[in-house]
Amino acid sequence: MRSSTMLETSCGYLLQELKMIWDEVGEDQFEREKVLLDLEQDCLEVYRRKVDSANISRARLHQELAEAEAEFTHLLLSLGERSLPGRPEKMAGTLKEQLDSITPALREMRLRKEERVSQFRAVQGQIQKISAEIAGQSEYDDSSSVVVVNENDLSLKKLEEYQIELQRLHNEKNERLQRVEKHIDKVYNLSAVLGMDSSMIITKVHPSLNELCGMSKNISDSILAKLNSTVKSLEEEKQKRLEKLRQLGRALANLWNLMDTPSGERQLFRHVIDLLSVSSEVSDPGSLTSSIIQQAEAEVKRLDQLKASKMKELFLKKQNELEEICNKSHMEIPSQSEMDNITSLINSGEIDHADLLTSMDEQILRAKEEASSRKAIMEKVEKWMLARDEERWLEEYSRDENRYSVSRGAHKNLRRAERARITVNKIPALVDLLIVKTKSWEEERKKVFLYDEVPLLAMLEEYNMSRQEREEEKQRQREKKKVQSQVVVEQENLFVSRPGTSSRRLSNGSLNGGFTNAVPLNRRVSLGIQHLGSNNINSATQSISFIKEGRKAQGEKMFARPSLAHLRDETASVVSTFSGPVSP
Q: Over its length of 584 residues, how does the chain's per-residue pLDDT go in tens digits?
A: 445 565 567 778 888 888 888 888 888 888 888 888 988 888 889 889 999 998 998 898 888 888 888 888 888 888 877 766 555 556 667 777 777 777 888 888 888 889 989 999 989 988 888 888 787 775 555 555 688 888 888 888 888 999 899 888 888 888 888 898 899 999 999 999 888 888 888 888 888 887 777 677 788 888 888 999 999 999 999 889 888 888 888 888 888 877 777 888 888 888 888 888 776 678 788 888 888 889 888 988 888 777 777 777 777 888 888 888 888 888 877 666 666 667 666 666 556 666 777 778 888 888 888 888 888 888 888 888 898 888 888 888 887 777 777 677 777 888 888 888 888 888 888 888 988 988 899 888 888 888 888 888 888 888 889 888 888 888 888 888 888 888 888 887 777 655 544 433 333 333 333 333 333 333 333 333 333 333 333 433 343 333 334 434 433 333 333 333 333 333 333 333 333 333 32
The Cβ of residue 209 has, within 10 Å, a number of other Cβ atoms equal to: 25
Q: How many CA atoms lie within 13 A of 425 on its CB side?
A: 6
For 497, residues 6+ apart whose C-beta sits below 8 A from its C-beta are none
* Sequence letter at residue 553: A
The backbone torsions φ and ψ at residue 490, rounded to the nearest 5 degrees and listed phi first, read -60, -40
Residue 307's region, left for phi above 0, alpha for psi from -120 to 50, else beta, is alpha
Q: What DSSP element (H or E) covers 67?
A: helix 29-79
Specify burial of residue 467 (Cβ count, 10 A radius: 0-12, 13-18, 19+). middle
Helix ranges, 195-335 (H)? 198-205, 221-259, 263-267, 270-274, 290-328
The whole-model pTM stands at: 0.39
CA distance 257 to 74: 84
What does the pLDDT read at residue 509?
37
Cα–Cα distances in angstroms (integers) from residue 560 to residues 404, 554, 567, in the given order: 18, 10, 10
DSSP symbols for 116-140: HHHHHHHHHHHHHHHHHHHTT-S--
- Angle of helix 353-399 versus helix 336-348 axis, rounded to 10: 160
Question: Parallel, antiparallel, or unpaired for β 454-455 and 450-451?
Answer: antiparallel
Residue 199 buriedness (CB in 10 A; 0-12 / 13-18 / 19+) = middle
Distance CA(154)–CA(151), nearest Å, equals 6
**Contact, 381 vs 434, CB < 8 A?**
yes
At 210, phi and psi to the nearest 5? -80, 125
